[in-house]
Structure 1
Amino acid sequence: MDPRSFVTDRAGDVRKTATGYWTFVPRRLPPEVEYTPRLTLLLSQADAALSELSGLGRYLPNPDLLIAPYVKREAVASSRIEGTQADLSDLLMDEIEPKRTPAGSDVLEVRNYVAALNRGLRQLDKLPLAGRLVRDLHKVLMQGVRGQERTPGEFRRSPNWIGPPGSTLTTATYVPPPPDPEMHECLKHWEVFVNQRGTMPELVQCALIHEHFEAIHPFLDGNGRIGRLLITLFLIERGRLSKPLLYLSSYIEQTKAAYYGALQRIRTHGDWPAWLQYFLTAVRDTGRSAIEQSQSILRLRDDFRGKLGKQHRALTLLDELFINPYTTVARACERLGVTAPTAQKTIAALENVGMLSEATGAKWGRVWLARPILKAVEATPPIADL
């Protein structure tokens, strides 16, 4: 890491370790935040979008119809930011036919992200957002996948760094604080800040929490995914989101250069406004698009419910397809509690109205796909210029 890149000490100190490499130790949160007219407007817009999205989640007749696909989409995007190649269809197929997923597939990493987020949601009533919960989520995230040898569930005991492939401590773009004692001191102060209430707008607090976690980089691997998980968990824990319907990772994936650039400029230039503007824009735009997408999905459901009339088993299977648009005869049997011939008739009813179509072309091991649902869930709105 080149200390000359760090032109101010507003966000932290550049220090040379006893072993000769340079490192950055972030200052305690919060920094002084200047609420410029632009920042105030973005905060208001992001807050309004988040409140509307939270209200939508609170009054859904069956929240799982939207939560399940959004959680999976977030898992795919957050994992793809870190270099995985699995897409949403891969994850959905793995869910209904895990034997089809080859050993070592990137799908396993995405599956772990879903498991970690769901575990975090269950633990929020039992544990504070602090080190114990963070380590627990990391253990779930890294279990049995690439990087599993890098101490899952444990804070690092050695240095790590961020930079292009092949970087070293000397050539890295950024080197987080050394593990002992600086990293642990930073984490202690971070935990205190995470659990402060009523001191600032919660969206600003959330932005600072995420940035600081990335600056500390307490794990040898998986820091980015855990940091993005914390955004959702913090907003739900504070009551700002009723359900996990905000999938920021899709936005971040499309604006990766701006995301990493804004984080780095805090360290090098103390440029908090640029990061806050990026984060609030992400919440605003993602919130608005999630509202539109949710309404579109619900309209699609109403449309096909109308086409199916009083075919009760088909209506039940239709709702299952919004949770996972792939199905098999065996899965339909399980979900409906019926025999194979009855499941086949139910699938045929959904084929007749244009919801299901066979996806493999095979005679055996057939899989049906609800293409209208998958298309609606995968829809990605264009990103406005930052």
Structure 2
Amino acid sequence: MSTRDVNKMSRIGRLVQQSEDFKAFIPYDFPPEQELELPLAIQKKHAEAMRLIGKLDGITALLPDINYFLEMFVRRDASSSSQIEGTRATLSDAIEAMNVEPGTNQPDDVDDILHYIDALNYGLKRAHEFPFTLRFIRELHEKLMTGARTTHNAFPGEFRRTQNWIGGTMPSNARFVPPPVKDMNRALDDFEKFIHTDDNYLPLVKAGMLHAQFETIHPFTDGNGR
């Protein structure tokens, strides 16, 4: 991790030396106690994003087939998010596999996208009947990773019980080392409480904070970026 990255991360946590000769990043209490001051540029971007969301909502009322539109959106999101984890399948691949079930005779990268689509559709339906909790997140992970071909030792639906890392071949030469398990569990408790806290954060800002914190915690052995 570069000095610049360390300086940025120091606002939300600290590097702590571990007995195995590496430093892990331990998040501070979440959300931060100090009031969040958004730069004017961020406020403008938030306002523009909300305007576009409203515009999109209006457009969907004019579509002859909203379900087809949502299906295309889901597939685009699936291909884009999966590419973060190294999957090379494209939106065209996702569209061509529209009537294919996960686990069938497909290239591994396409199969991963099909699992993503299956998990996202499950989550959209489940969200209407179940609150967004750590249990819900584990359910989505289980749906996403069970049977996926390009994942190894993912332990679908289970938070990790061992140390993981990002980049490098081991924690000591990694680019980033998330919190050890006991600190991870504390951070996840804060994460879940923040989801359900009635506060004054702008909705998209809060969503961004939650996403960044989740990636920092990296609670799963594999599949965190999806």
The alpha-carbon distance between structure 1 residues 85 and 182, as it changes in their structure 2 partners (threshold 3 A), is same
Look up the match of 1:74: 77
Question: Shift of the alpha carbon at 1:205?
Answer: 0.3
The answer to whether the 8 Å contact 2:17/2:24 transfers is yes
Question: Shift of the alpha carbon at 1:54?
Answer: 2.5
The answer to whether the 8 Å contact 1:29/1:190 transfers is yes
Q: 1:208 & 1:138 partners in 2: Cα distance?
A: 20
Look up the match of 2:162: 158
Identity of aligned residues (%): 36
Q: 1:58 & 1:159 partners in 2: Cα distance?
A: 47
- SS at the partner of 1:24? strand
2:156 partner letter: P
* Aligned pairs for 1:14-163 within 5 A: 14-31=15-32, 32-58=35-61, 60-96=63-99, 102=105, 105-145=108-148, 146-163=150-167
- SS at the partner of 1:95? coil
Question: Shift of the alpha carbon at 1:92?
Answer: 2.9
Question: Shift of the alpha carbon at 1:57?
Answer: 2.9
Determine which structure has the larger helix proportion and give its number. 1
Question: Shift of the alpha carbon at 1:197?
Answer: 2.8
Task: Say which one has the larger Rg.
Answer: 1
2:165 partner letter: W
Question: Shift of the alpha carbon at 1:28?
Answer: 2.5
Q: 2:214 & 2:101 partners in 1: Cα distance?
A: 33
Question: Shift of the alpha carbon at 1:5?
Answer: 6.1
Which runs of 5 or more residues in structure 1 are unaligned?
A: 226-386
- SS at the partner of 2:151? coil
Once the two structures are superposed, what CA deviation does each residue of 1:172-202 show, in whole Å capped at 9, x if it has no partner?
Answer: 11100001x1101000000011122342111
TM-score, reference length from structure 1: 0.53
Q: 1:152 & 1:131 partners in 2: Cα distance?
A: 14
Question: Shift of the alpha carbon at 1:71?
Answer: 0.7
* Aligned pairs for 1:242-321 within 5 A: none
Look up the match of 2:204: 203
The answer to whether the 8 Å contact 2:153/2:221 transfers is no
Q: 1:122 & 1:96 partners in 2: Cα distance?
A: 19
TM-score, reference length from structure 2: 0.88
- SS at the partner of 1:224? coil
The alpha-carbon distance between structure 1 residues 91 and 18, as it changes in their structure 2 partners (threshold 3 A), is same
Please identify runs of 4+ aligned residues in structure 1 that moved more than 4 A.
1-5
- SS at the partner of 2:50? helix
The alpha-carbon distance between structure 1 residues 78 and 120, as it changes in their structure 2 partners (threshold 3 A), is same
Pairwise CA RMSD: 2.4
Q: 2:16 & 2:175 partners in 1: Cα distance?
A: 15
Q: 1:97 & 1:29 partners in 2: Cα distance?
A: 41
Q: 1:107 & 1:48 partners in 2: Cα distance?
A: 34
1:110 partner letter: I
The answer to whether the 8 Å contact 1:72/1:114 transfers is yes
Structure 1 stretch displaced more, 104-113 or 140-149: 140-149
Aligned length: 221
Q: 2:152 & 2:58 partners in 1: Cα distance?
A: 39
